[in-house]
Structure 1
């Protein structure tokens, strides 16, 4: 019996292959590529929207300027420069100037007009650099640390409401400027024959000394101009036609806090036969004796008139229900360029020269 054949030597089992790392890498690469493409698509869409918004803004600006020029306005600026991407659509108009047919003009070194995707119903205007207001032959230069106007937009009607915010304003030449810490206001055009204005000022510093000192703590204004001023004719002709049509300035509320004095007033003004302002209203004062003494010391009120006023003031004042200084309510009038309070002449105002 033959011997069994020797067994073939066993081959070592092949080592197990390491796990492949290429698949996760490929997946990660595809995900990264997809994310890049998605961001590029979103960025391209956002840029297209930004360009569309700016195109509409330029078109709307040109249409608005053409309509104003047809009404006699002068509007000038350099070619619009686009900017603001990706957070806003902004047009910068250098050498901005606008002048109305009534002789009122405003110019600025540059004007930024801005729309944001989150607030497409509000156009924000920010003037930059030195600015100037002109009324007739009078020019008032001014600067501001921050100043912006916001216009409410509508798809069906032109803007009929604008708000204004500012701080660090200086009006007039540098050596004799009027300073305003804060300013806020709103201008509304509810219909073509009515213009409403509200204004609030804080920290007003006058460029000269006054009987009550140079600093006014706060002042507010609520006024309505009734009647649309005509757009054609000389300034005097337009003023006369506005007066003859019943035009008037209604001062609904004026408040003032100046030193120890708190004052409020309401009045209605119009133009008289000589095209000078005339009007009448009511003035309310807290701490009137302090104001009287300040006017006497400044020479505005004569000593003889002051003696009579000192005697009757206690009879005219009323206690303040809140425990403050006694309140005085007196009539106030403007006639022949003379301001009178309780028939006491306080002085004359400069006349209006209609050129």
Structure 2
């Protein structure tokens, strides 16, 4: 006799209202978890920025710098980490100081040690040697980007400014239409490299000053450009001591390209520079000079040379150089920095003071 199994009943589906409530509360919990995670992540990023900046300050203080400031306010949640620092002031061991009303640094939460700083406000540099008047720096737009490590080491920095004015009491202002400069990246000594490497670039457009109008070339310097690499570790010490140590350890600056465009004059130079025993620049640069004949012409027009002197200099230039593919006169001659003088071949041009007194 066969046994008929009892019928199994399938579970009843939850009422539609109950399922909707579960999904609603699950969504609330998920949103709360995401919000809590976002808040925790933002505060972690803010702490990373604060730690990196604190360690940078400690390193500068170890070198003898005095750093003071007002309140530090963190804001920007959730999209940016913004640090606003009131009345920062830095005083160097040599006595000069820098200060401004407020510094504002911003960073993305996922990269809190890569910061953008607004530098458009006025900056004051005081305490200069020989009781020189203070320098005030103003710009319509000035920003800096900087990347540091959690230990406060500067890896890379870039400054960009438009309509930059550098003012000194009792002096005419120096004006720069556009400035773009970078420091870094830092490459530590390793493998075949025995010295630390640090790149430097500078590009300034339309540099003008009333004193330039008194020169034969007149007008603004249309372009000043520099690309180089600094080799050697700069120790965490006062500037004069650090430069001595850097020089004695074999430190030098390799200029990959340095150029000047001023009126008819074009100068390109490259080479290696170091410091002598008195901390004056020394070295030899291979240079290419275009438009020297135009400079002679300008000097004749301004009355600095008479026709006879001008003719003699033109003959000398013709013997030293030749016309290039662009039809401009070109001279290839070394620029020497030696014994405290900058010389063009055998001709001394101007004295070179020590970098620090």
TM-score class, shorter:
0.7 to 0.9
1:214 maps to which residue? 219
1:248 maps to which residue? 252
Distance in 2 separating the partners of 1:234 and 1:320: 44
Residue 250 and residue 122 in structure 1: after superposition, are their counterparts in 2 closer, same or farther (change >3 A)? same
What is the TM-score with the length of structure 1 in the denominator? 0.75
1:196 maps to which residue? 199
1:329 maps to which residue? 332
Deviations 1:290-332 (CA, angstroms, capped at 9, x unpaired): 12333566687798875543112123323333x3523221122
Whether 1:338 aligns to 2:335 is no
Deviates more, 1:111-120 or 1:198-207: 111-120
2:173 maps to which residue? 177
1:147 maps to which residue? 142
3-state SS of paired residue (1:211):
coil
Distance in 2 separating the partners of 1:134 and 1:350: 24
Q: Report the Cα offset of residue 83 of structure 1.
A: 2.6
Distance in 2 separating the partners of 1:36 and 1:219: 60
Deviates more, 1:277-286 or 1:296-305: 296-305
- Over the aligned positions, Cα root-mean-square deviation in angstroms equals 3.8
Deviations 1:6-29 (CA, angstroms, capped at 9, x unpaired): xxxxxxxxxxxxxxxxxxxxxxxx
1:80 maps to which residue? 72
Structure 1 alignment gaps of length 5 or more: 1-30
The question of whether the paired residues in 2 share the 8 Å contact of 1:198 and 1:222 is answered with yes
2:261 maps to which residue? 257
2:155 maps to which residue? 160
The question of whether the paired residues in 1 share the 8 Å contact of 2:52 and 2:148 is answered with no
Deviations 1:48-102 (CA, angstroms, capped at 9, x unpaired): 5434432332233223322332333322211201233443110111212234557
Alignment of 1:251-290 (within 5 A): 251-290=255-294
Distance in 1 separating the partners of 2:308 and 2:91: 49
The question of whether the paired residues in 2 share the 8 Å contact of 1:108 and 1:127 is answered with no
1:225 maps to which residue? 230
Deviations 1:247-270 (CA, angstroms, capped at 9, x unpaired): 333322111222222221123333
Structure 2 alignment gaps of length 5 or more: 1-22, 189-194
The question of whether the paired residues in 2 share the 8 Å contact of 1:109 and 1:128 is answered with no
Deviates more, 1:210-219 or 1:59-68: 59-68
Distance in 2 separating the partners of 1:248 and 1:103: 26
Distance in 2 separating the partners of 1:197 and 1:93: 28
Distance in 2 separating the partners of 1:158 and 1:273: 29
Whether 1:98 aligns to 2:90 is yes
Distance in 2 separating the partners of 1:47 and 1:203: 47
2:107 maps to which residue? 115
Distance in 2 separating the partners of 1:57 and 1:78: 18
Q: Report the Cα offset of residue 156 of structure 1.
A: 8.7
2:5 maps to which residue? none
1:351 maps to which residue? 353
Alignment of 1:22-61 (within 5 A): 46-61=38-53
2:55 maps to which residue? 63
Deviations 1:162-191 (CA, angstroms, capped at 9, x unpaired): 222221211123751111121112211223
The question of whether the paired residues in 1 share the 8 Å contact of 2:284 and 2:334 is answered with yes
Q: Report the Cα offset of residue 142 of structure 1.
A: 0.8
What is the TM-score with the length of structure 2 in the denominator? 0.75
Residue 134 and residue 228 in structure 1: after superposition, are their counterparts in 2 closer, same or farther (change >3 A)? farther
